Amino acid sequence: MYKLTLEWMEGNQGRSQSFTSTSHTKQPGTIRIGRAREQCDLVLSESESSLSRLHVEIFLNTSTNNFWVRNLTKDRPPAKRNPVIVDGQKILEGEVEIKVGSQIQLGKIALKISAIEQIQPEINQASDRPVYGIKCPSGHVLPYDYLGLFCPHCGKGIQSGESQVLRHGA
């Protein structure tokens, strides 16, 4: 499980927002960013025309356990694509890895990855009963009280997931 924190300036105000692997997002397993409320999890300035309605998405690559950013304007005709600049590198197509300190430039707005934390589900150590989790088809284990329908790590449905003991009773 993870927690990713983004910081940026809008006008003269500093802003930040954190997302966790259990955050409910528009597209499971991703954080979509742009200026359209109906499509994005992080809505930046709705009046900023240099920012696309749906500009980028951040996702966790489960094979490397690193975060990546993808330009979602890549399928537009070349003249209508909006670039993404990640740590000084212009991205029109493809994906690029991001880490703590990475800068993501979307039009006139610069996002900074201020924190990436691995978090462990809280387990009540005082209980003498086993603590269960749900194992998705790809093998990721989620807390039993996770309310999403899809694995936040890989996006696969967890409805047919197996129960797994996370900890046996004391």
Confirm whether pTM is higher than 0.85. Answer: no
The span from the CA of 87 to the CA of 72, in Å, is: 18
Could you tell me which residues come within 8 angstroms of residue 10 by beta carbon, excluding any fewer than 6 positions away?
Answer: 44, 45, 109
pLDDT computed for residue 127 by the predictor: 56
Read off the pLDDT of each residue in 73-102 and give the average, rounded to a whole number: 88
Architecture per CATH, domain 2-118, reads as: Sandwich (2.60)
List, for residues 126-150, the tens digit of each pLDDT value: 556 777 778 888 877 777 667 677 7
Start-end ranges of CATH 2.60.200.20 in the chain?
A: 2-118
